[in-house]
Amino acid sequence: ETGVTQSPTHLIKTRGQQVTLRCSSQSGHNTVSWYQQALGQGPQFIFQYYREEENGRGNFPPRFSGLQFPNYSSELNVNALELDDSALYLCASRDRFITGELFFGEGSRLTVL
C-alpha cells in the first residue's frame, strides 16, 4: 500500500512568485486535504477536496487554490507569495466513507525570501 507522497520536499521562492505543490494520496483514498504548518505551530487547515471539488475551506485567502484529479491526486497553488507563506505544507488523505485517521505525507517545506 503506497502512502501519501508529496513533491517537492523543499523549495525556495521569492516574494510575489507563484508555487505549485503536489500530492499523491494513499491508494484507495478519495479525499485530500491540505494543511499549513508555520514554524513552531500546529497545522492549520487550508482546504479539502472530494470528487475533484473543494468541499471545505479554512481561513486562507483566495490566492491559495487547489485541484484534485480523477486519480485523487491533488495540487496546492499559491499566488503572489508573501514572506508569511513560508511554512511546511502537509497533504493528508482518507476515505471519505470511513471515519478514521488522516494519513499525512512528509510535507513540502516552502521558504519565501
Partner 1 sequence: AQKVTQAQTEISVVEKEDVTLDCVYETRDTTYYLFWYKQPPSGELVFLIRRNSFDEQNEISGRYSWNFQKSTSSFNFTITASQVVDSAVYFCALSDISGNTPLVFGKGTRLSVIA
Applying CB under 8 A, the residues found at the interface with partner 1 are: 33, 35, 40-45, 48, 56, 58, 88, 90, 92, 94, 96, 99-107, 109
Beta carbon nearer to partner 1, 65 or 80: 65
Beta carbon nearer to partner 1, 78 or 90: 90
Find all residues with CB under 8 Å of 1, minimum gap 6, and list them.
Answer: 26, 27, 28
Least distance (Å) between residue 5 CB and partner 1: 10
Least distance (Å) between residue 106 CB and partner 1: 4
Beta carbon nearer to partner 1, 48 or 78: 48
- Distance separating the N- and C-terminal Cα atoms of the chain: 37
Find all residues with CB under 8 Å of 49, minimum gap 6, and list them.
Answer: 31, 32, 33, 55, 66, 67, 68, 74
